[in-house]
Structure 1
Amino acid sequence: MEFGVGYFPTHDAMRPGSLARRIEERGQDALFFAEHTHIPAARETPYAGGGELPRKYWHTYDLFVALTDAAASTTRLRVGSGICLVTERDPIITAKEVASVDHLSGGRFEFGIGAGWNREEMANHGTDPRTRMRLMGDRVRAMQAVWTQDEASFDSEFVKFERIWSWPKPAQKPWPPVLVGGDGPTVLDRVLAYGDGWFPNYSESVFPRIASLRSRATRDIQVQVLSAPSDPAVLERLASAGVHRASAWVPSGPWSVIEAKLTRWEQAIGAFLGR
């Protein structure tokens, strides 16, 4: 099993490229960045974590700018979105950004995606929260067409375009891994429909759902887990369930703050590997 780190790349914390270099030097396999284009000042959607929404949510760099900095600062590290809110993005532009980062990084990009939870945020992008799941599926399939067709066309409920040219194509074929985030009741349907993997936050419920996913899949589906605890016993269970990579969040801040959490994560990995 591989290991990674999740991070909100805020403008007032350690720079994305500097963190990526440290993460790579310390032997982690991947670094994922969170995305929020903005946070509405008047918000009714409750924060799933409870209490007040942390300020890091509205202080992040643009996702793909941060990813470019991280990719340019490393040579081995996988870099990814954890997650990209495709319900708030134009699919043609996003296809170009994904392909560009994957091409410039030499095929090291992983495309974690999600529909989002903040209804006011997505509404500001013209997205109806009630149809966001169908919208996400249409946009992902449209991007897959752009990545694989020399002259791409697409016609669906939410995305329509005829005969476009768009290069570069991704370095990874047919495209960077599309990792579908979320743990809602229909998420496995979306994974099977257009994903290359499932990318939930850790909870006890992931274990029976991994088994369900395996029983339903007719092709290889990768499972990665975000928000993994620094607990070697949990890592053992994830490995036994066939999880490809477990990743833990580190705080947004200076290196001294990040290093303390990263060290606990590394100690758990060491204990797991030492068994």
Structure 2
Amino acid sequence: MKFGVNCTFTDRSTMSPAEYGRAVEERGFDSIFLAEHTHIPVDERSPYPFGDRPASLYHTIAPFVALTAMAGVTHHLLLGTGIALVAQRDPITTAKLIASLDLVSNGRFIFGIGSEWNAEEMANHGGDPARRGAIASEHILAMKEIWHRDKAEFHGEFVNFDPIYSWTKPVQRPHPPVCIGGGEKAFARVVEVGDGWFPNPQSSDGLKPKIERLREFAGREVPVTVLHVGAAEAEIVNGYGQAGVERIVFPLDTEATDPLADLDELVALTADLAVDLDSSLIPGTSEREA
């Protein structure tokens, strides 16, 4: 099992993205995932699905900018979106953005995507929130055409363009991993356009049979990264491991007074877990043994 960090960078974060990314890599984590919101509508009515609405939503830095800053000061850390709101993004410009980030990071980008819970935010981008799943799938398919072909074209319900040239192409071939967020309703999207499943549960309860159903439905071994919601606890992590999860991504607060202390607490937790894991994948183990 692998361990990563999920966070949101804001104009109030107590460390810069570059400093934080370097610290995450130095502590042995394999990945960092950043959340995305372009804005929060003043007259928003959509309920926040994860409890109390964090104030950081109103102050987010664009994740692709923060990840690019991290790419320049790290060497092995995987850089992901957790999650990108692909249904409200232009697929041509987003394909270019991702290919560019994958190039400057030497093939370390993971494209975590999800359906927008904030209907008003998506509507401001001109999309129909009721069709957001179908729009997201078609945007991914269009981007793959751009990544895979020198002369790319796409003619769909939501995306339509005649042959285009668009370089650079991603370093990772055929493309960076596309990890689909959501519950069981997203299984069809995982199979159609995804390379992995990216759920955000609060615990491992009931997760193992869901993973088994997904893999049976897909007819292949679908890797699962969990974007954990809530505090990190040893019992929860053990449960994820037993469910067959490949990677757990823990939420951390970049606006904390001492974000490095929070990182170190997470290192201590993951290093001391009584889980049947390869010790080289546990953050902090190699440094203590050296």
Residue identity opposite 2:41 in structure 1: P
Corresponding residue for residue 127 of structure 1: 127
- The answer to whether 1:7 aligns with 2:39 is no
SS in 1 for 2:81: strand
Whether the 8 Å contact between 2:7 and 2:253 is mirrored in structure 1 is: yes
Corresponding residue for residue 224 of structure 2: 223
Report the more deviating stretch, 193-202 or 229-238: 229-238
SS in 2 for 1:186: helix
The 5 A counterparts of 1:182-261 are 182-183=182-183, 185-203=184-202, 204-227=205-228, 229-254=231-256, 256=258, 258-261=259-262
Deviations 1:10-56 (A, max 9, x none): 121121111000000011000000000000011111111234x2221
Residue identity opposite 1:241 in structure 2: A
SS in 2 for 1:84: coil
Corresponding residue for residue 75 of structure 2: 75
Specify every segment of 5 or more residues in structure 2 that has no aligned partner in the other structure, as ranges.
277-290
Deviations 1:147-169 (A, max 9, x none): 00110011111111111011110
Greater relative contact order structure (CA < 8 Å, 6+ sep) = 2
SS in 2 for 1:266: helix
How many Å separate the matches in 2 of 1:18 and 1:205? 37
Corresponding residue for residue 270 of structure 1: 271
Instruction: Name the CA shift for 1:149/1:220 in 2 (closer, same or farther; >3 Å).
Output: farther
Whether the 8 Å contact between 2:5 and 2:250 is mirrored in structure 1 is: yes
Specify every segment of 5 or more residues in structure 1 that has no aligned partner in the other structure, as ranges.
none
Whether the 8 Å contact between 1:123 and 1:129 is mirrored in structure 2 is: yes
Corresponding residue for residue 55 of structure 2: 55
Residue identity opposite 1:40 in structure 2: P
Whether the 8 Å contact between 1:225 and 1:247 is mirrored in structure 2 is: yes
- The answer to whether 1:118 aligns with 2:118 is yes
Corresponding residue for residue 31 of structure 1: 32
RMSD (CA atoms): 1.5
Corresponding residue for residue 93 of structure 1: 93
Report the more deviating stretch, 239-248 or 123-132: 239-248
Instruction: Give 1:198 deviation, angstroms.
Output: 0.4
Whether the 8 Å contact between 2:207 and 2:243 is mirrored in structure 1 is: no
Whether the 8 Å contact between 1:138 and 1:159 is mirrored in structure 2 is: yes
How many Å separate the matches in 2 of 1:255 and 1:143? 39
Count of residues in correspondence between the two structures: 272
